[in-house]
Amino acid sequence: MENIDDEYRNYWETNTFLQTEELDCYFDESMSVSYEYESSSPEGMQSSSSPPSKNIVSERNRRKKLNEKLYALRSVVPNITKMDKASTIRDAIEYIKSLHSEEKKIKAEISELERGIMTSSPNSANSEVITSCCKRKRTKMVRCHDPIEVIELRVSNMGEKTIVVSLECNNKRDTIIKLCKAFESLNLKIITSSINAFSGRLFKTVFLQDDEDDENDLRVKIEDAIAALNNPDSPMSY
């Protein structure tokens, strides 16, 4: 008959005790012990009077843990607008989203940097301005996407493991640099090389020693390297 009475009395006891005295931290150890006994009391008891004590303390711990987690979340998220629980989570979400977009930007930027080269011509067609990154002083950078337009590529074996590469292409902005990067990426044993610019064209001649590849293999390698540089999506993972 006193079931509900007892329950709610118990509710009230602990509740007001905790809320008014704010003894939360002391409760965990010292009090929980005193709560312990009586839980193994005879079965005939009003089932509600004793068992909750176990649950109460564990529930308390659960809430405590969860709040600590929330505090930790606050600590790793900058720009927390309010100390609100919901606001904390909302800010965390927005922060993660902003980090995601940053990540995207940076990825693009890195692949740009990996593949390509900066130039100082803001008016160059087929280029874009990207402001980067991560809240440091934003440096304006202009990237040029003009591909290497190969007009002629000759790879000829001169005997004695010596191969001569002769390449002619249009001389757009940064073409020289890309060309150099393409050849650098192949790790060739270069004996001597020259690049000449004339009449809107680039002429590159390379003498190199190659013990492994024949003409065709090397030709394919060079073509692949150039293609990789021309492909904007390539991470240029060399």
State which amino acid sits at residue 109: E
Q: Contact between 89 and a copy of itself (CB under 8 A)?
A: yes
Provide the 3-class DSSP secondary structure of residue 201.
strand
Q: Are 179 and 169 a contacting pair, CB within 8 Å?
A: yes
Q: Are 124 and 173 a contacting pair, CB within 8 Å?
A: yes
Q: Which does 227 bind (CB under 5 to 8 A by kind): a copy of itself, DNA, none?
A: none
User: Nearest approach, Cβ of 99 to DNA (angstroms)?
Assistant: 24
Q: Contact between 69 and a copy of itself (CB under 8 A)?
A: yes
Structure tokens at 86: 């919901």
Q: Which stretch binds DNA (CB under 7 A): 20-28, 174-182, 211-219, 229-237?
A: 20-28
Q: Which stretch binds a copy of itself (CB under 8 A): 10-18, 150-158, 160-168, 213-221?
A: 10-18
Q: Are 53 and 33 a contacting pair, CB within 8 Å?
A: no
Q: Which of 56, 80, 113, 228 binds a copy of itself (CB under 8 A)?
A: 113
Structure tokens at 165: 């590469």
Provide the 3-class DSSP secondary structure of residue 211.
coil
Q: Contact between 81 and a copy of itself (CB under 8 A)?
A: no
Q: Which does 54 bind (CB under 5 to 8 A by kind): DNA, a copy of itself, none?
A: DNA
